[in-house]
Amino acid sequence: MLVGAAALVAAVAVAALRQYYRKPDDPEDEERRRRSQLNQVGRIVEGLVVELVESQGSVAPPPAPAMFSRHKAAPGPSGNSLRRLVRYSYSIAGVTYETAQDVTGLEERLCLERIASGQPASVKYDPSNPSNSILVADDWSGLH
């Protein structure tokens, strides 16, 4: 009995250490999985493109951008690549959501030169969490 309890404690300790020291998931892979899942289970609603934001490095949107304008953020630290963020809005059950999607790497699905503020777009959202949405996936685009 004592040996079984010791083995159980050792197994739990090994699992805890493994979880603590495991390599974090690649953010790009996590985003790809999120897009794929939303593309499969998402419902479609009409929305509007708010703006296209291009920045160096970080994809955080500017603090208070002008609505319906094209904005080029200040460059970040050197060595970072250009990131593209499309901000968009949509309404579900009387609630309006405004969010953004990093579309870097999905340029083949979009025609960036044709993205305009106020442009209608189809948005796929998670029915169990309407704030989780996408404009573009690896094999789908809601941009008209």
Pairing assessment for the beta strands 120-126 and 43-56 based on DSSP bridges: antiparallel
Mean pLDDT, the chain, rounded, equals 82
- Give me the mean pLDDT over the 109-116 stretch: 81
> Does the residue 103 lie in any domain?
yes
- pLDDT tens by residue, 73-98: 444 444 458 899 999 999 999 999 99
Q: Identity (one letter) of the amino acid at 129?
A: N
Decide which of 23 and 36 is more confident. 36
Domain assignment present for residue 40? The answer is yes
Which of 118, 111, 127 shows the shortest CA–CA distance to 45? 127
Q: Check if the beta carbon of residue 116 is closer than 8 Å to that of residue 33.
A: no
Report the number of distinct structural domains present in the chain: 1
Average pLDDT (20-32) is: 81
Residue 120 has pLDDT above 70, yes or no: yes
Residue 119 inside a domain? The answer is yes
- Asked whether residue 6 is domain-assigned, the answer is no
Residue type, 6: A
Model confidence band, residue 21 (pLDDT cutoffs 50, 70, 90): confident
- Residue 59 belongs to domain spanning: 27-141
